[in-house]
């Protein structure tokens, strides 16, 4: 096949077609007419000698050949983009909007210092923060979302990822809580607790104290010791858990970075858990389509630097340790 006879725009069109799964949506995405998109699909079918997309009762579905091409296309287009893209990015003049999916934990720890940096280095940049329930991995793969910052059970292999930090756990409780003076395992088990967690993507489900397979890191660590805690409140928000921990009878066990946000609150004590808990990893993930984007590289590098600074300063005050 003579490459000089191939319209490289067709590869871009095919990539969008396979990501959108619709001629109409692909045309809208590419800002061309639907007849033009249909004609491009006809030419692509001739080029690859394959239907590529087949209409079914559930809409257009890619053929096996199209699925094979999809990953190869992303690599080829990403490489082409890195070759021809204008690499200059002036943050002082940029009016870029970044969409970032961040868990409550990531939002509270990473976003404030990021905004401080943007205020001085890139005042025209806008940040749109979404929650894990707002998006899907497909949105991230398609580049509709710039970054996802969270603790993930798994990530699609098509996404790039970077570990920002590994975090231990700490406990927040009222300074007048009965367990505060002597924070032992027995005192911990005798207390009432706030459960807090929301990992991965999608809509969450209701919890009960007997959902042992779904309770997560803290309860799994206790179960290995043959214990369980008395959960009185379930929440998906770390900052709400910290607020509730100010009550005289509740303990919140949180990632240390989330707990340290409240180190200057005179009503709260920060304690190390009286049993070992496996650390968690906060990760940043993004689409291969944005890997070589200059603005995106700028954002990733600064978030990575911010995370390194936060991790290095993560010290529980000596007055709060057991």
Q: Quick one: pLDDT at residue 82?
A: 60
- Answer yes or no: do 74 and 150 share one domain: no
Residue 92 lies in a domain: no
- Answer yes or no: do 267 and 248 share one domain: yes
- Answer yes or no: do 125 and 182 share one domain: no
Q: Characterize 205-231 residue by residue with b for buried, 16 or more Cβ atoms within 10 angstroms of its Cβ, and e for exposed.
A: eebeeeeeeebbbbbebbeeeeeebeb
Region 242-267: mean pLDDT is: 95
Residue 204 lies in a domain: yes
Q: 107-147 pLDDT, tens per residue?
A: 999 999 999 999 999 999 999 999 988 888 889 988 889 99
Domain stops at, among 42, 62, 84? 84
Q: Characterize 237-264 residue by residue with b for buried, 16 or more Cβ atoms within 10 angstroms of its Cβ, and e for exposed.
A: bbbebbbbbbbeebbbbbbbbbbbbbbe
Q: Quick one: pLDDT at residue 7?
A: 73
Within the chain, strands assigned E span: 53-56, 59-62, 97-102, 126-130, 147-150, 160-167, 169-174, 192-196, 230-235, 250-255, 268-271, 280-286
- Answer yes or no: do 25 and 63 share one domain: yes
- Answer yes or no: do 221 and 180 share one domain: yes
Residue 108 lies in a domain: yes
Number of CB atoms found within 10 A of residue 148's CB? 27
Q: Which domain holds residue 237?
A: 167-280+316-320
- Answer yes or no: do 156 and 287 share one domain: yes
- Answer yes or no: do 59 and 28 share one domain: yes
Q: Quick one: pLDDT at residue 81?
A: 65
- Answer yes or no: do 269 and 303 share one domain: no
Instruction: Report the alpha-carbon distance of residue 111 to residue 129 in Å, rounded.
Output: 9
- Answer yes or no: do 288 and 276 share one domain: no
Is the pLDDT assigned to residue 31 strictly greater than 90? Answer: no
Residue 240 lies in a domain: yes
Residue 175 lies in a domain: yes
Q: 44-53 pLDDT, tens per residue?
A: 898 888 999 8
Record the tokens describing residue 26, joined without a space.
């692909």
Residue 90 lies in a domain: no
- Answer yes or no: do 255 and 192 share one domain: yes
The domain tally of the chain equals 3
Instruction: Report the alpha-carbon distance of residue 118 to residue 213 in Å, rounded.
Output: 41
Residue 89 lies in a domain: no
According to DSSP, the β-strands at 230-235 and 160-167 are unpaired
- The CATH number given to whatever domain includes residue 25 is 1.10.10.10
- Answer yes or no: do 275 and 286 share one domain: no
Average pLDDT over the chain, rounded to an integer: 86
Domain stops at, among 28, 62, 84? 84
Domain stops at, among 41, 61, 84? 84
Residue 41 lies in a domain: yes
- The CATH number given to whatever domain includes residue 216 is 3.40.190.10
Is the pLDDT assigned to residue 246 strictly greater than 60? Answer: yes
- Answer yes or no: do 299 and 229 share one domain: no
Any idea which of 44-58, 73-87, 280-294, 297-311 has the lowest mean pLDDT? 73-87
């Amino acid at each position: 096949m003579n490459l000089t006879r191939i319209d490289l725009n067709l590869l871009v069109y095919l990539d969008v077609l396979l990501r959108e799964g619709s001629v109409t949506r692909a045309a809208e995405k590419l800002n061309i007419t639907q007849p033009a998109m249909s004609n491009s699909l006809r030419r692509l079918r001739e080029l690859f000698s394959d239907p590529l997309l087949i209409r079914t009762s559930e809409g257009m579905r890619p053929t096996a050949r199209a699925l094979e091409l999809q990953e190869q296309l992303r690599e080829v287009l990403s490489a082409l983009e890195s070759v021809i893209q204008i690499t200059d990015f002036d943050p002082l003049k940029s009016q870029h909007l970044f969409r970032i999916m961040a868990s409550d934990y990531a939002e509270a720890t990473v976003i404030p210092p990021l905004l401080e940096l943007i205020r001085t280095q890139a005042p025209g940049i806008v940040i749109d923060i979404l929650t894990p329930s707002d998006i899907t991995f497909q949105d991230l793969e398609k580049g509709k979302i710039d970054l996802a910052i969270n603790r993930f059970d798994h990530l699609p292999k098509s996404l790039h990822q970077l570990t920002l930090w590994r975090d231990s756990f700490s406990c927040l409780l009222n300074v007048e809580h009965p367990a505060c003076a002597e924070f032992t395992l027995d005192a911990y088990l005798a207390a009432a607790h706030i459960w807090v967690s929301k990992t991965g993507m999608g809509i969450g489900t209701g919890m009960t104290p007997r959902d042992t397979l779904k309770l997560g890191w803290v309860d799994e660590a206790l179960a290995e010791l043959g214990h369980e805690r008395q959960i009185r409140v379930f929440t998906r928000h770390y900052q709400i858990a910290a607020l509730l921990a100010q009550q005289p009878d509740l303990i919140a066990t949180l990632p240390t970075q989330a707990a340290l946000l409240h180190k200057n609150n005179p009503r709260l004590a920060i304690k190390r858990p009286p049993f070992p808990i496996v650390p968690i990893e906060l990760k940043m993930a993004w689409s291969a389509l944005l890997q070589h984007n200059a603005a995106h590289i700028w954002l990733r590098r600064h978030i990575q630097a911010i995370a390194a600074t936060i991790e290095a300063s993560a010290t529980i005050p000596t007055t709060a340790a057991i």
